Amino acid sequence: MMSRATNARSSAERRVLDEAGGLRAMTWVMAIMLFLTMLAAALGLATAGAARLLDRQLAGRLTVQVVDGDPVRRDVAAARVLAALRTMPAVATATPVDRAELTRLLQPWLGSDGADPQLPVPAMIDVDLADHDEAAASRVAATVRRLNPSVRVDRHESWMSPVNDVMRTLTFLALALVLLMASATAAVVVLAARAGLQTHRATIAVMHMLGSTDLQVARLFQRRIALDATIGGVGGGVAALLIVTFIGIRLRGLGSDLLGGVALGGVDWVVLALLPVAFVVLATLAARVTIVRALRHIL
Amino acid sequence: MRKRQYGHWHGHQAGESGRNHVMANIVQFENVGLRYGSGPDAGPETLSDLSFTLRSGAFYFLTGASGAGKTSLLKLLYLAQRPTRGVIRLFGEDAVVLSRDRLPGFRRRIGVVFQDFRLVPHLSTWDNIALPLRVAGMPEADIEQPVREMLTWVGLGDRADARPATLSGGEQQRVAIARAVIARPEILVADEPTGNVDPDMAERLLHLFESLNKLGTTVVVATHDFHLLGRIPGAQMMRLDRGRLLDPTGALRYPPTRPE
Minimal CA–CA distance to A127: which of A180, A88, A184, A168? A88
Q: A205 and B105 in contact by Cβ < 8 A?
A: no
**Which residues of A sit within 8 Å Cβ distance of B?**
5-6, 8-9, 12-13, 15-16, 18, 202-203, 205-213, 216, 296, 299
Contacts A295 to B, Cβ<8 Å: none
Query: Global pTM?
Result: 0.71
Least confident of A196-205, B17-26, B72-81, B107-116: B17-26
Model pLDDT, residue A102: 79
Mean pLDDT across chain B: 83
Q: Is the pLDDT of residue A190 over 50?
A: yes
Q: B140 and A210 in contact by Cβ < 8 A?
A: no
Contacts B139 to A, Cβ<8 Å: 5, 9
Q: Is the pLDDT of residue B17 over 70?
A: no
3-state secondary structure of B59: strand
Model pLDDT, residue B19: 42
Backbone angles phi, psi at B107, to 5 degrees: -65, -30
CA distances from A295 to A192, A212, B134, B137 (A): 15, 11, 20, 20
Q: What is the mean pLDDT of residues A83-94?
A: 87
Instruction: Give the burial class of B94: count Cβ atoms within 10 A of its Cβ; 0-12 exposed, 13-18 middle, 19 or more buried.
Output: exposed
Task: Give the chain A residue whose CA is nearest to the CA of B105.
Answer: A211
Contacts B108 to A, Cβ<8 Å: 210-211
Q: What is the mean pLDDT of residues B214-231?
A: 84
Q: Give pLDDT tens digits for A99-118.
A: 788 788 777 777 777 677 77
Model pLDDT, residue B87: 95
Q: What is the mean pLDDT of residues B21-31?
A: 79
Model pLDDT, residue A7: 59
Q: Give pLDDT tens digits for A119-177.
A: 778 888 988 888 777 788 888 888 888 888 888 888 877 777 788 888 889 999 999 99
Model pLDDT, residue B3: 40
Task: Give the chain A residue whose CA is nearest to the CA of B109.
Answer: A211
Model pLDDT, residue A6: 55
3-state secondary structure of B10: coil
Total residues belonging to chain A = 299
CA A150 – CA A67 distance, rounded (Å):
6
CB atoms within 10 A of CB B10: 10
Percent of chain A with pLDDT over 70: 90
The vertex-A64 CA angle with A61 and A68, nearest 5°, equals: 165
Q: Give pLDDT tens digits for A251-282.
A: 888 777 667 667 788 899 999 999 999 999 99
R_g of chain B computed on alpha carbons: 18
State the nearest Cα–Cα gap between A199 and chain B, in angstroms: 12
Percent of chain A with pLDDT over 90: 29
Residue-range domain boundaries for chain A = 2-55+161-295, 68-149
Task: Give the chain A residue whose CA is nearest to the CA of B103.
Answer: A211
**A51 — pLDDT class (breaks 50, 70, 90):** confident
> Residue A88 has what DSSP assignment?
-
Q: Is the pLDDT of residue A220 over 90?
A: no
The complex scores an ipTM of: 0.81
Model pLDDT, residue A239: 95
Q: What is the dihedral of CA B247, B248, B250, B251, to 10 degrees?
A: -50
Beta strands B187-191; B218-222: pairing state? parallel
Q: Is the pLDDT of residue B147 over 90?
A: yes
